[in-house]
Amino acid sequence: MGFKDPSTRLRVLELALVTSVAFAGPVFGSLYYFFGEPLQTSTSGQMMYALINELLAISVLVYVLFRQGRRFGEIGFGFVWRDVPRSLALTIGGYIAYYGCFVMIYYSHYAFTGQTLATPDIASKISSKGVIPAGLVFAVVNPFFEELIVRAYLMTELRLLTGSAAISIATSVLLQTLYHLYQGVPLAAADAAMFSVFALYFSFTRRIMPVVLAHLAFDLFSVSFAALRA
């Protein structure tokens, strides 16, 4: 697909529109906390604000697909019951990748420095009782927001525009990791390992629902863990 074609240029612009609306804010916030201020405790208002932004980004995606005369099924979205056991296997695979990467970083750090690796206590930032209800709603919406845009839509468009599965996988994982840097490099790197499993699965199967359900399982676990600490 040539970039001199007006329809291709429009498609690139719409890809930039959807991804910037969805992730410009999260990337800025992540880098802000990574390079500057310490991560602040979330409030229910901040959770709802993030939720509204995610719903708006999904709305922009819906509009762009509608304008292009495409359906969500064309970016791999749809549900069959087999997606449930597939998501379970994907959850296990994603966790193994996450945990394995983190353990490797943890012991490598100890071997080189002789000190225990310290990571931010993310759960404590959402563990107040007032935040849990909003956090639960956010945990349900967030997997659809992230996986539909940074995985299904972005990878589908980049595969079409570049013809390269590797570029689509690497870009998806890099962008998703970038807005998780607020967790610190060790946890973000572990996230990247898990995101790579998700991206590889989608690249080979072209089905996003098992990835959404696996992501949902991780998010619900995080909120449940935070609730137990409240």
> So where are the chain's domains?
6-70+97-229
Lowest mean pLDDT among 100-104, 124-128, 187-191, 220-224: 124-128
Report residue 223's pLDDT band, with 50, 70 and 90 as the boundaries.
Answer: confident
User: In Å, how far from its chain's centre is CA 198?
Assistant: 10
Contact 173, 194 (CB under 8 A): no
Work out the average pLDDT over 123-150: 79
Closest C-alpha among 202, 188, 194 to residue 218: 194
Contact 190, 105 (CB under 8 A): yes
Separation of alpha carbons 48 and 194, rounded Å? 26
Query: Please, what is the average pLDDT of the chain?
Result: 90
| pLDDT of res. 131 | 61
Whether 87 shows a pLDDT value over 90: the answer reads yes
Contact 188, 119 (CB under 8 A): no
Contact 54, 141 (CB under 8 A): yes
pTM: 0.91
Closest C-alpha among 110, 120, 109, 91 to residue 187: 120
Work out the average pLDDT over 213-228: 87
